[in-house]
Amino acid sequence: MSTPVALVGIGKIAEDQHLPAIASSDDWHLAATVSRSGSVPDVEGFTGIEEMLATRPDIPVISLCLPPAPRFAYAQAALEAGRHVMLEKPPGATLAEVHTLAAMARERGLTLFASWHSRAACGVAPAREWLADKRITRVHIDWQEDVREWHPGQDWVFEPGGMGVFDPGINALSILTEILPHPVHLTAATLDFPANRATPIAANLRFTGNTTAHFNWLQEGPPTWDIDVETSEGTLHLGKGGSTLSIGGADHPLPRNTEYAGLYARMAECIALGISDVDLAPMVHVADAFTLGQRVEAAEFSF
């Protein structure tokens, strides 16, 4: 028997990813939504989470896919009401607030899942397994896309808490921290801020372990979501956000990519086991970039 879940934030990511993943799952069924403007046909909709929590005590799980800045208040309300919570990436606007949510879940015996959808890409697990015993000599991330295509008119991504180019860049960092057998940490960064915006539109990062990353939100045409890991036994290449994998130039066969289905399966598993899954390693790298990064002024940006 499937478990009812409420989806909070009915925007592009919910429509493109969360709704299809829930609809195709045997573990879940969508019982309610919370949104000021969006809705789902034939599903009870609310405009505020407090009303939903009070009206639907039968819904034990809340999935939050609204922007990170307001997410803490919604997660806090859900946990205080005794509900399990699944967080879209990044799990919050700050590390401190996610630590607070993790403590709340732990004290109440609830599950908190900070999901990283790119880690569920079909090439990530086999890449991690292959790299486990390899001597890594160099890593480079090339992560470029067009913000106008992926966040059309969404000014919140350039406001404090929106993270700017780290909104997609953190996907690359979530893969990096998943596949490397040893952790790395940031040593230097340059961040390009449009003159009229509060968050960066491009970034170059340098880590220990001869690891570098280039993020750009102004690329036109198809996106570039690539990670190359050079080792003493050949180069591993993850392409298309982790959905393709080659080792030593030879393509590695992979199953069909089902990132969000994997996330909802993991949420069901965590609840069944009575555990939380809150890995903040990708977000630590972003926080370090804002701490260490040299600010470079770039041309003004408008949608």
Catalytic residues, by residue number, are 89
Residue in the block written with tokens 């230097």 = 188
> Residue 242, Cα to own-chain centre: how many angstroms?
13
User: How many angstroms separate the CA atoms of 49 and 54, rounded?
Assistant: 9
Say if CB 16 and CB 151 are below 8 A apart: no
User: How many angstroms separate the CA atoms of 139 and 173, rounded?
Assistant: 12
Contacts of 52 (CB under 8 A, 6+ apart): 6, 32, 34, 46, 59
> Residue 91, Cα to own-chain centre: how many angstroms?
7
Say if CB 142 and CB 205 are below 8 A apart: no
Say if CB 30 and CB 40 are below 8 A apart: yes
DSSP state of 182: S
